[in-house]
Amino acid sequence: VKQQGKNSYTYYSDEMTAKAKKRLYLEQEIRHALDNDDFYMVYQPKIDVKTSQVTGAEALIRWHHPIDGFISPNDFIPVAEESDLILKLDKYILDKVISQISHWQKQSLNVPVISVNIPSREFQRGDIVSCVQHTLHHYQVIGSQLEIEITERLLMDHCEENIKILNRLKDLDIHISVDDFGTGYSSLSYLVQFPCDVLKIDKCFIDMLPHSKENCQIVEAIIMLAHKLGKDVVAEGVETEAQYQYLRALNCDQIQGYYFDKPLDILDFAAKLTKCDVR
Ligand code: C2E
Ligand code: CA
Ligand code: CA
Ligand code: CA
């Protein structure tokens, strides 16, 4: 028994060391990738259900590591979040996305609202508002081109302070969307207080549509609630015709998912956009 105990202790601590090593390695590689400009953004269209037009897009980060190959944001974003690296990464992403919008506009493309992900923990650290404001000004892009996808957790954390920050973003005409809605600690009273424009229903509820009666009821309730509060609804992770038809029947406003498009590189995304009328 003693032997076993000792072994399992050894095993446990080895595993911890391996994890810590991996995290340190990733941290160092993220730093390197930032300096080398190795990250890039892809853009996944959001389709207006009524008109079938592209009326938005979510910017998602990508990283092809020179040795380790493709690393998912699900793996490196949490590592960046554990240190102050995430603040640098946020700035980097905002710069990339806003300069890209400006670039497309110079090509006379009709650029829809582009959203970026800023998880809730980052709101309290770093001055997100002045960073956004400064970057918009630098590239001469108006705030209404931009949407920020916050997480539901923000509705709970440090309420007063976060409401202030969101209101300052709204003063810049930036849209606010609550990402992965339904998965977190959402409280209806906070939802009413929060200055947000869009609820984004998480993929996990969409996955089981229209076969799971419970999920159908949840999705229907979220859409009704959002519309009663004057907010738009986006469904993420729509993969099938049946899901699309179901959401359309429920008056969901926008759809994002593989059924229409995977996240696209900048050239493929630009090819989807129409040209502005030239007078
Ligand atoms: P998320 O914000 O919930 O983003 C949606 C994820 O679902 C994306 O994965 C997207 O590619 C994927 N997706 C979209 N439609 C479908 C579909 O029909 N089927 C399936 N199976 N998947 C679909 P991705 O790009 O791997 O991003 C994963 C997560 O990483 C994101 O979840 C977000 O939390 C985080 N992330 C991605 N880019 C950024 C970023 O630039 N900044 C920050 N802070 N986080 C990011
Ligand atoms: Ca998102
Ligand atoms: Ca999401
Ligand atoms: Ca999600």
216-241: pLDDT as tens digits: 999 999 999 999 999 999 999 999 99
- Take atom 37 of ligand 1 and give the residue whose Cα is closest: 60
For the full predicted model, state whether its pTM sits above 0.90: yes
- Take atom 13 of ligand 1 and give the residue whose Cα is closest: 237
State yes or no: pLDDT of 60 exceeds 80.
yes
Q: Check pocket membership of 9 for ligand 1, CB cut-off 6 A.
A: no
**Confidence band for 2, pLDDT divided at 50, 70 and 90:** very low
* Average confidence score pLDDT of the chain: 91
Q: Check pocket membership of 122 for ligand 1, CB cut-off 6 A.
A: no
Q: Check pocket membership of 144 for ligand 1, CB cut-off 6 A.
A: no
Core vs surface per residue 238-251: b (16+ CB within 10 A) or e: beeeebbebbeebe
Q: Check pocket membership of 56 for ligand 1, CB cut-off 6 A.
A: no
Q: Check pocket membership of 258 for ligand 1, CB cut-off 6 A.
A: yes
| Predicted pLDDT of residue 4 | 53
Which ligand is nearest to the Cα of residue 207, counting in written order? Answer: 1
Q: Check pocket membership of 61 for ligand 1, CB cut-off 6 A.
A: yes
Instruction: Please report the atom of ligand 1 found closest to the CA of residue 42.
Output: 25
ipTM: 0.96
Instruction: Please report the atom of ligand 1 found closest to the CA of residue 119.
Output: 44
Kindly state the average pLDDT of the residues 33-55. Answer: 97
| Predicted pLDDT of residue 152 | 78
Instruction: Please report the atom of ligand 1 found closest to the CA of residue 86.
Output: 44
**Confidence band for 7, pLDDT divided at 50, 70 and 90:** low
Among the listed ranges 16-30, 67-81, 90-104, 234-248, which one has the minimum average pLDDT value? 16-30
**Confidence band for 185, pLDDT divided at 50, 70 and 90:** low
List, as one string, the DSSP characters of the chain: -HHHHHHHHHHHHHHHHHHHHHHHHHHHHHHHHHHHT-EEEEEEEEEETTT--EEEEEEEEEEEETTTEE--HHHHHHHHHTSTHHHHHHHHHHHHHHHHHHHHHHTTB---EEEEE--THHHHSS-HHHHHHHHHHHHT--GGGEEEEEEGGGGTTTHHHHHHHHHHHHHTT-EEEEEEETSS---HHHHHHS--SEEEE-HHHHHTTTT-HHHHHHHHHHHHHHHHTT-EEEEE---SHHHHHHHHHTT--EEESTTT---B-HHHHHHHSPBPPP-
Question: How far does residue 45's CA lie from ligand 4's centre (Å)?
Answer: 15
